[in-house]
Structure 1
Amino acid sequence: MAHIIVVGNEKGGAGKSTMSMHVATALARLGHTVSALDLDLRQKTFGRYAANRSAFLKKSGLELPSPHYHDLPEVDPESLGPGENVYDRRLSEAVAMLEPDSDFIVIDCPGSHTRLSQVAHSLADTLVTPLNDSFVDFDLLAHVDDDGKKILGPSVYSEMVWNARQLRAQAGLAPIDWIVLRNRMGAQQMVNKEKMGRALELLAKRIGFRTAPGFNERVIFRELFPRGLTLLDLKDVGVKQLNISNVAARQELRDLIKSLRLPGVEVTF
């Protein structure tokens, strides 16, 4: 059975697609067979990233380890059973098709609440939730008091994860390993950074997730997208000397992959 990694939250701009592409490509570079699905059927940022990579590699004559991207299969509405949801069928058919030949399936969810996202979360062995280091984004997980010191209650996204956990328990599946990644943690704004850290620590104990550092804001991520490249591809495309920012970004990716604690994965880059 493939290990399913779901990258999701219900807020756009948190870095889900960048995270998905880097995790998927890193696993492929480590020798694993990786399949990829993008459930944002409108924007398809992860899908565009993968398409850009394929086009660039073909144009440049390079062969680099890459995830295998797949669109969701179309389903004839006439084939649905009574009360069966078409999106449930499309996702279940995609996963059933990919599982036998994949070590990992990376699923990127949209930045909104959709039926596909709900179902994907219930399939997750590992759930990765990128979160900008801001109480605006934190509000997606939980409500806090006006000084950020007291958790008032879980919010909409945490409730969806809780429901996904219940469905997995009912099906006799292993619990979801949920990791919240703190993206864009600048060296400045130390007071906010400390408040966020305390709030996440409190909430982690209450609703059951781990925290890990993600990616800081870096221009390189925007520059890599049109060619579908990741931080690990730079030397292969002729970048002989990485600058300090790029070296730091590679270390962030290395730390991220280690923090996911994926089965059978040894980080060697």
Structure 2
Amino acid sequence: MNSLLRVAIYGTGVLVVMFLMLPILAVIPASFNHASFIQLPPSRWSLRWYEAFLADSEWYQSLFTSIQVAVVATLLSLGLGTTAALGLQKASPRWRTVLNAVLISPLVVPVIITAIALYYTMRPLGLHGTTLGMAMGHTVLALPFVVVNVGVALRSIEPNCLRAAEGLGASPFATFRTITLPLISPGLASGAAFAFITSFDEVVVSIFLSSATTKTLSVKMWEIIRVEYTPVTAVASTILMVVTFLLFVLVQFALRNRTGQEGGHAR
């Protein structure tokens, strides 16, 4: 009975994942259409629209802008999020609840409201339409993921390790560098992955903060879809999915490699 229940649970999980993923994965064969419209399955397979993507400088310039903005947003959110998670760890329970609610609020507030607020904030500062301004806007959305992941990693640290380092005369910075930072590295890696993907895929905030010369791949896709819907949009969507998938694989590989090294040291 237990084995049948387990098979039923796993089978249901697989069906749910397939139901959610198959419509998304359908973009991949659509990008190999030869026709000028989306057709599934393609009547003729071709790299025509990949060539069109590479031949248009605006497409790969927007891809480069997306990567650049995502990298800056990831670095900013890692720095701010790690500092905030460390501060929350030291705060009293009452203040921790209030501050945590404020830091997590970008996940609750509708993105369109955040985008409008960022637009009216960035424009007077001269940051509207700049890579830095867009990265700062994306940092607001990515910050909660870093705070949550690093916070979970911090709670898993054995307090006696920190007390032992302090008892041996280590300074707070030395304790953080030699003990806290290595132990929270899985949380940092997960937070960085979520922050990068959040920025790389963001479209609403990017629309409000972009300009004619600074636009991300998501904004470029949105502009093209408004005029025409050719398979070149499917090519851009495929690139977004491939980058996201490779990033998660890289993070999982790094975490597994670290776990293996820690197990080897323990033996």
How would you bin the TM-score normalised by the shorter chain? under 0.3
Structure index of larger Rg = 2
Q: Report the TM-score, using the length of structure 2 for normalisation.
A: 0.26
Please state which structure has a larger fraction of its residues in helix.
Answer: 2
Q: Which has the higher strand share?
A: 1
| Bigger relative contact order (CA 8 A; separation at least 6) | 2
